[in-house]
Structure 1
Amino acid sequence: MISNLKTNFEASLIPWVEDIARKNDSSGHALYIMKDGKPVLEHYGGYHSFEPASQEVKATSRFNIASARKSYIALVVAYALYDRLLELDRPLDDYTEESNPVFSGVSIRHLLTHTHGIGEGGEGLYKEFTPGENWSYNNIGVDTLAHLVMEMYGVTISSFLQERIFNQLEWVETGWMTEPSPELVKIIGNKGEKPLNGLHSDCDGTKKNLFVSAREFAWWGQLHLDKGRVGNQQIIPEEVVNLATTIQTPSGLPYDLPRNGAFWYVQDIPRKKSEIGDDVPAGSYQILGVTGPTILVIPKYQIVAVKMYNKRYNYGGANYLHFLKEYSNRVADACT
């Protein structure tokens, strides 16, 4: 069974991942798939950048996961909900001393599910739509909640996760990076331009300087699939994981729009503007970043599928949803 599954993944996903890397000028890529808590496919290709003498991508290579870091911040927010520091349907104004009129009517649920209706332009924040009546992806919800929970717990996002999870699991290939290191894969902008290092001077966990190896990224997905349990140890309370990975989107959202848990995209039924393909079973969830890293978790098949790239706007253009759906469909179809 496992050997057949590996063959299916190799035939369907490796050529596809490599083709996307060529088309989008990603210098490096990786693919890591787990079934029933065990790796079944591990594939690495390309280099850390297009620079001369750049290192080959290998198991220890760490990619900048960009907005996929939201899944890490989401877990801390889920902890705050579990600890009753936050309530999903209470307004943000209840938790802040300085009230901004643009946040009027915005709840914690709205911030978690991209339904808050706040946009950001040249003159600052503005009301884009009534909270809970539409969906729009931006960083306002994640930034607002990240700073709120850090204030509540009195520690940074990165410190919280390091103490409660990373140290316990002895993960050494996951972290917010401030200094160059040989294992860090660079970020490709336009081909021919100097690559970006993806570093930031701040390592509090709110910035886009989280670097993770493909295998630890997959184990992050597996930790969610196993409801926070590793062996005989409950690393994370099960309810915390459920809060993060089950649909929290307000009811009544238009049919075509995505449904979210705590920032994760969650499948219920196929939806036109969702990033998850129509063939993926209900209950599955996915998160991704602008440089191409993606975790797809399919509980029905006990699958965690990770792909990594290092190209900004990896699926650039109006048709980017097609490629995201195609990836998740290929993973799901290979399981059947």
Structure 2
Amino acid sequence: MSSRHQKLIDYVSDIRRRNHASASALIIMQNSKIVLEHYKGTHSNEPSKKIDMNSMFNVASARKSYLALAISFALYEKKIHSLDDPIEKYLSDYDKKPFRGTTIRHLATHSHGLDERADGMIIREFNAGEKWAYRGINVRILTELFRHLYGLDFTLFLKERVFIPLGMEHTIWATSPSPSLVKVIDSPEFHGEFKLDSSDDGMGSNLHTTARELAMWGNLHLQMGCHEGIQVVPEAVIKTATTIQNSEYDDNRLPDNGLFWYVQNKSRAFSEIGEHVPKGAYQILGNTGPLLLVVPENNLVVVRMSNKRYNYGGDNYLHYIREFSDLAYQTIATKNVMHTSSSIL
């Protein structure tokens, strides 16, 4: 193992300790091969099994990348005419204020301007397309849209069209406890808990996967839908999801997005991608610690897993996310890796 690898492993372990997580995993894949794999810790902050390659982490908001692929499929298969179609064209319940003027593009790029109050009332924060704000209502609307278009949940669609062809057996929207699931820690004062939902329809944040299968998911995108010589997903579907789809904002600090993915063009102050990561890279993040970075320029996929709710750093968490992506990229960019290194501790 090189000193550069050890520096990255130490960084991940240090953030895990600081954030009071019990578990971490790290995978670097280049040229479709794992070149670094490291696991540390246990499934919870109580006596529990050690983390290994079969440990399934809750990926929280990183699940948006899966919904993104489903929506991109709908566009490719002409279930959706255009990303610029207003949502009420397909879902009549949204043909009223404050939804008017909100397009599928706005919903998939966090530029919709909608929010939901504690009492369930939907409010408009800003005009659609003018700004960027991370809210959860867009996930619910686009999940409903896919079900309306296809007559089934996007989770089942992806299982049949993507997961089974890829051999992904450990990526599930979990509805019941399992020894393979890693518990999520909300506070170091309390034992971790399973983050489950009563349904696997994709509405809840109960998606769990292993570090290896998240890397496989990233590599499918990197290889433009091709896996082991087979075109599992049309190239155009991947391209739509992972290239910039938002309009230019007046505020140049705001991040660029594909369909949910953060995409690197010019480095943006409010982006989660580090300034040294090259143009064309894209990344997705969850608040329980998962991170998936894809760097086409270097044929690189990076996965980091953790199990603590809210990423380390408080209001300054973006600094540490950007710092990690810069460090991970530089670990590979400075010198190509020629051998596989695996460590399970």
TM-score, length-scaled by structure 2? 0.93
Q: Distance in 2 between matches of 1:66 and 1:246?
A: 22
For the residue of structure 1 that corresponds to 2:2, the secondary structure is helix
Match among 49, 53, 56 for residue 55 of structure 1: 49
Q: Distance in 2 between matches of 1:43 and 1:205?
A: 29
Q: Give the match for residue 90 of structure 1.
A: 85
Q: Give the match for residue 3 of structure 1.
A: none
Q: Give the match for residue 124 of structure 2.
A: 127
Write the letter of the residue equivalent to 1:85: K
Residue by residue over 1:230-283, the C-alpha shift from the partner in whole angstroms, topping out at 9 and shown as x without a partner, is 122100000000010000011344211000000000000111111101000000
Residue by residue over 1:151-207, the C-alpha shift from the partner in whole angstroms, topping out at 9 and shown as x without a partner, is 111111111011001111121111111111111000001112132201111011221
Q: Give the match for residue 110 of structure 1.
A: 106
Q: Distance in 2 between matches of 1:156 and 1:253?
A: 36
Write the letter of the residue equivalent to 1:191: P
Q: Distance in 2 between matches of 1:298 and 1:117?
A: 29
Shift of 1:44: 0.1
> Are 1:9 and 1:41, in contact at CA under 8 Å, matched by a contact in 2?
no
> Is the counterpart of residue 19 in structure 1 residue 14 in structure 2?
yes
For the residue of structure 1 that corresponds to 2:92, the secondary structure is coil
User: How many residues get paired?
Assistant: 330
Unaligned runs of 5+ in 2: 335-345
Q: Give the match for residue 176 of structure 1.
A: 173
Shift of 1:143: 1.3
Shift of 1:122: 3.1
Higher deviation after alignment, 244-253 or 302-311 = 244-253
Q: Give the match for residue 325 of structure 2.
A: 328
Matches within 5 A, 1:136-175: 136-175=133-172
Q: CA RMSD in A?
A: 1.1
Residue by residue over 1:190-227, the C-alpha shift from the partner in whole angstroms, topping out at 9 and shown as x without a partner, is 11213220111101122111110000000000000000
Q: Give the match for residue 33 of structure 1.
A: 28
Q: Give the match for residue 192 of structure 1.
A: 189
> Is the counterpart of residue 225 in structure 1 residue 222 in structure 2?
yes
> Are 1:26 and 1:314, in contact at CA under 8 Å, matched by a contact in 2?
no
Residue by residue over 1:97-146, the C-alpha shift from the partner in whole angstroms, topping out at 9 and shown as x without a partner, is 22231111111110010000112213411010011110000111121111
> Are 2:131 and 2:249, in contact at CA under 8 Å, matched by a contact in 1?
no
Q: Distance in 1 between matches of 2:110 and 2:185?
A: 28
> Are 1:33 and 1:42, in contact at CA under 8 Å, matched by a contact in 2?
yes
Write the letter of the residue equivalent to 1:254: D
> Are 2:184 and 2:288, in contact at CA under 8 Å, matched by a contact in 1?
yes
For the residue of structure 1 that corresponds to 2:27, the secondary structure is strand
Match among 63, 66, 88 for residue 60 of structure 2: 66
Q: Name the % identity.
A: 46
TM-score, length-scaled by structure 1? 0.96
> Are 1:132 and 1:253, in contact at CA under 8 Å, matched by a contact in 2?
no
Measured at CA, do residues 253 and 146 of structure 1 come closer, stay the same or move farther in structure 2, by a change above 3 Å?
A: farther
> Is the counterpart of residue 235 in structure 1 residue 229 in structure 2?
no
Shift of 1:316: 4.6
- Displaced runs of 4+ in structure 1, greater than 4 A? none
